[in-house]
Every structure is written in C-alpha cells, then in structure tokens.
Amino acid sequence: MRLATIATARGPRLHVRARSGYVDAGEAAGDERLSSLQHVLAAAVPAPPRILCLGLNYSEHALEGGRAVPTWPDAFVRGSDSVLAPYADLVKPALTSKFDYEAELGIVIGAGGRYIRAEKALDAIAGFVVVNDASCRDWQRAASQWTAGKNFTGSMPIGPEVVTTDEVDVSDLAISSTLNGTVMQSARTSQMLVSVPAAVEFFSSFTCLAPGDVIATGTPGGVGFARTPPVWMEPGDVIEVTVEDIGTIRNRVVAEDGGPDDWRWRPAGSPGGGL
C-alpha cells in the first residue's frame, strides 16, 4: 500500500494510491477519521514528532569526509520543524554558503516500542519514505556537535509516499541524488553499515520509538562538500532524491527572503562569518 498526505482545499488529507490515481481515504470510506495518517497508522508524517538520524552509515561517505569507518552508530536528532514537503521549494538559509544534499532512505515508525530486536523490527515499522537530509556544512562543522547544521527550518524534504512494509523489501535498493540533471550519488541500501532492522534495534535501545517517528538511515558517498571543487546547492538548482521502489522527491532551491544582514551568529565560511 502507498499512502500520501496531499494538500487539498480542505487541508492536508490522507490519500491511498489506486490504479486510477489517488483516492481520498476519508471520503471513500465515509469516515473522516481516515483523512489523517495519524489515525490510520498512529503516525504523523509529513510532520513527524522527531527524526532520529544515522550519520556516516556508508563507508564511502565516511572516508570521503576524512573519517574512519565507524564501529558504533553515529546518531543525531532533527526536530519536526526541519521537515519539508516532497516537492516544496527548498529554502537555502541566508546564513550559509555551504548548503549540501544527502540522499537517504527513511523509516516511518508504526507500532514502535522499546528494546525491539532486529528480527522483529518490521513489526514496528509502518513504511518507508525518501529523505533529503540537506545540511548547512559551515554550521555543522563549526562545532563538535551537528545539531545546528542539521536543523534549519524546512531543510529536510521527505515523501512522496509512505510505502508499507508488505510492498517493498528495502534491503538492497538503488539510492541516488541528482542535481540539475547530473547524478551526484549512486549506491545501494545493502551498503549501509547499520541495516534497517539494526537501526530500529539500536535506537530502541535508548528511547521508546513512537508512532510517527522517522529514522533517516544515512547517505552514501558523493555529497557536495567532498567534491573537488565542492558543489553546493544554490538558488535556481533542482535537487532530486530517488530510492528504488519508494519514489522520488524533487525540490527547487530558492533563496531565503528577509534574512538579517547583521546577524551575529555566522560561522567561518558562511556569508560574513568568522565568529
């Protein structure tokens, strides 16, 4: 089953993809409760309560950044306001000059729980989505923690559908990013250091996974900062992220309107930075 929350004149409503196109679930069933993914799956995508992220989960990406291949999962958290719709304009923040792309597979938690063993992980998952973990590298690298560079408002496009676990096997899918028609990243999910079941098991070790949580499973090599010269997303660019059998998200990059010129907090490398 493929589920999508679609903006309508009546507001965001849950739709199910059928052979003839998308069908409004609430209207078709005569039950308005079914107009929300929250009710159907006890999930909140496209507004997940939090996004639990794996960093450096592909060897090539770790090595291209000058890091050792990790032997322990490198985890961080995104807030819900960093989420963006799958085809919305992606705003390049005024405070960065190093806006990067990251193609990722996302896991949408359904039943959730604590201490979920890998062999039971699928029982806790509602489905899968495509994610672009867009990052402000100057902010990310200004300190030892990644929170700021990974949490600019509306910087993580996600979607376009929640594809349920009965429809797709995500153990070995092609994943790619394309910038203005040029392929930048190309890998397979089988190359992840921490697999989907292992990721669910890991995060449930220290937190109770809740319905609607999303786990972003990390990006493969080929990101912009590691290229010579570096490649950054700029206003006017179009960035696409595709995961085989899940879908494609596509976002046009636009400049932030109204960013302050005299803002104090600008890391070295950002416009006017050097604090």
Q: 254 - beta bridge partners?
A: 91
3 state DSSP class of 254: strand
Return d(Cα 123, Cα 141) in angstroms, integer.
37
Give counts: helices (H), strands (E), the chain.
6, 17
Q: Residue 247: which H helix or E strand, with range? A: strand 247-255
| 69-83, 200-214, 260-274: least confidently modelled range | 260-274
Q: Residue 243: which H helix or E strand, with range? A: strand 238-243
Which phi and psi angles does 227 have, rounded to 5°? -90, 160
pLDDT, one tens digit per residue, over 151-178 is 999 999 999 989 999 999 999 999 999 9
pLDDT, one tens digit per residue, over 113-160 is 999 999 999 999 999 999 999 999 999 999 999 999 999 999 999 999
Return d(Cα 84, Cα 122) in angstroms, integer.
26
User: Which pLDDT band holds residue 181 (cuts at 50, 70, 90)?
Assistant: very high
pTM: predicted TM-score of the whole model, two decimal places = 0.87
Report whether 224 contacts 232 (CB < 8 A): yes
Report whether 78 contacts 104 (CB < 8 A): no
